[in-house]
Structure 1
Amino acid sequence: MIIGVTGSEGKLGRATADRLRADGHDVIGFDLAGPAGVGFTRVDLTDYGQALDAMLGVTARHGGLDALVHLAAIPVNGLVPDAATFDNNMSVSFHALFGAVRAGIRTIVSASSITAMGFPYEVAPPRLPVDEQYTAAFNTYGLGKVLEEQLAAQLVGWHDDLSITALRFTNVVDEGEYDTFARAAEPDYRRDLLGSWIDARDGAAAVSLALAAARPGFEVYNVAAPESGTAAPSRETAERWFPGVPVADDLGEFESLMSTRKIRERLGFTTQHDWR
């Protein structure tokens, strides 16, 4: 396929573009800055005209896309004021998704986030591990992700052949960032992330699987390493962080408290990288 990747120069974007090219696809990166060449076009997605034009075709780059992977966003709260985070990310996602639909693209994979399911967990989740049925936002970045999922869920009702998959990524770790796990034995290490993490290359593999499995309709999957980023056993961690919250009887010894059961069972998701 010819696949557009927004946010192609971000940590996850670079890994995704590499993975999809390795899968045999032609990839066109869309971002505010990037390498000159046939695999990249500079696009400001806050401008709907640029977004739509990029989806329809770019001279010397592509004549139309078969699929879109939407990863572009201000990645966390705090880089700009809260309202600016929300305004930018909602606008960019609407332009990307609506533009893609208008351009006739019927396969879309979009980055959602652990922030759409309770992060930073100052309010205890209803059960552990936390699965895709739980949706709650406690900052403007997360609020945007909740609304982006709702946007996608509504858009698929407009076209019987439209597939949009939202992937709720947790903290993405690059291959050069594993030194952070030196703190894995600390009692509250990654508590705001339920102890979860994902290697960028494994996150890219989840995108590849979602594209291959795309079916009409809207679907949400958590994307995290199946095993936690903490040194202590998961049941012990759950009791320390969230006393009294129900824990699945079959929780694995080091199973992530951000559930990956759905993506593993439905898409066959596995990971190749483990901090241990």
Structure 2
Amino acid sequence: MRLAVTGSSGKLGRSVVAGLREAGHEVHGFDLHGERGPGFLSIDLTNYGDVVDAIMGVDDRHSGFDAVVHLAAVPAPGLRPDAATFHNNMLATYNVFQACRRAGIRRIVYASSETVLGLPFDQDPPYIPVDEQYDARPESTYSLVKHLEEQMAIQFTRWDPALSITALRFSNVMDPEDYADFPSFDADPLLRKWNLWGYIDGRDGAQAVLRALENAPNGFDRYIIAAADTVMNRSSASLAAEVFPGVEVTKDVGEHETLLSIDKARKVLGFSPRHSWRDAVGD
């Protein structure tokens, strides 16, 4: 496929571009800043006219896309003022969704966030492992936008049943060079309590995007995307019992099994994380 990846210069974006190209796809990167080169376009996604123009075609670079992967955003709470985060992220996502509809592109995969699950879990989750079945609990402007983007996607796919929009609720993205710090988390289980000790290797994030492009059905759906394990050497069951003693654990969890359930992504998309920090650092 010929694909556009917004946010191509970001931490996840770099892994996704590399993974999609390795899989044989023609990838064009869209971002505000990035290294000039083949397939890269500098673009302000809050400008709807520029987004439509870029998706429809750019001189001799391309004449349209088969699908769009939308990762561009202010990537976390607290990096910009709340209103600026809302304005940038909400408008950029609307512009990408709408431009794809106008261009006749029927497959969109985009980055939602684990934050909609209730991070930093100052209020206990309803159960553990958390999954996609309970209502969103945004606790920041950044997370609020991610929730509203999902609601917008529901309506876009209602208007156009042939449209497929897949929201990937990515956990905290990590590169191999980040793993050296992981053993230090064991000193205090509260250090990473904020996302139930989860993470996702960027290469597995790319795999999730690829599987969604290949396998996501028409309509809208959301999937948690996390590594198969936690960031901790302690058992997952002991962490849940100590930090969330009043929360029901709904299944027998493996020794280091993720408490961000990826069962749905495994079953529907065929997602199967291959990378663990333990391979780089060891127990």
**Fold match by TM threshold 0.5:** yes
**Separation in 2, partners of 1:275, 1:21:** 24
Aligned residue in 2 for 1:24: 24
**C-alpha distance in structure 2 between counterparts of 1:70 and 1:58, whole Å:** 18
Partner of 1:37: 37
- The partner residue of 2:214 within 207, 212, 215 is 212
- Bigger Cα displacement from structure 2, 182-191 vs 50-59: 182-191
Shift of 1:60: 2.1
Structure 2 equivalent of residue 188 of structure 1:
190
**Seq. identity, %:** 50
Q: 1:202 aligns with which of 198, 201, 204?
A: 204
Residue in structure 2 matched with residue 63 of structure 1 by the alignment:
63
Unpaired runs of at least 5, structure 2? 279-283
Q: For 1:27-176, what aligned pairs fall within 5 Å after superposition?
A: 27-134=27-134, 135-176=136-177
For residue 241 of structure 1, what is the aligned residue in structure 2? 243
Q: Which amino acid aligns with 1:268?
A: G
Query: Which ranges in structure 1 are unaligned for 5 or more consecutive residues?
Result: none
Checking the alignment, whether the CA contact within 8 Å between 2:215 and 2:268 is kept in structure 1 is no
**Deviant stretches of 4+, over 3 Å:** none
Query: Residues 225-273 of structure 1: CA distance to partner in whole angstroms, max 9, x if unpaired?
Result: 0111112111111111211111023222211111111111222222221
Which residue identity is paired with 1:106? Answer: R
CA distance in 2, matches of 1:249, 1:57: 49
User: Alpha-carbon deviation of 1:72?
Assistant: 0.2
**8 Å Cα contact 1:38/1:60 also seen in 2:** no
The alpha-carbon deviation at position 158 of structure 1 amounts to 1.3
Tell me, yes or no, if the aligned pair for 1:189 and 1:230 is still in contact at 8 Å. Answer: no
Deviations 1:5-44 (A, max 9, x none): 0000001101101111111111010001122222111110
Among residues 223, 234, 255, which one is paired with 1:253 in the alignment?
255
What is the CA–CA distance in structure 1 between the aligned matches of 2:210 and 2:12, rounded to whole Å?
Answer: 12
What do residues 149-197 of structure 1 show as CA deviations (whole Å, max 9, x unaligned)? 0111110011121000000001000121112202231222311111000
Secondary structure of the residue that 1:156 maps to in structure 2? helix
Which of 260, 264, 267 is the matching residue for 1:265? 267
The residue aligned with 2:281 is: none
- Pairwise CA RMSD: 1.1
Report deviation, 1:79: 1.2
Between Structure 1 and Structure 2, how many residues are aligned? 276
Determine which structure has the larger helix proportion and give its number.
Answer: 2
Q: Is the 8 A contact 1:183 1:189 kept in 2?
A: no
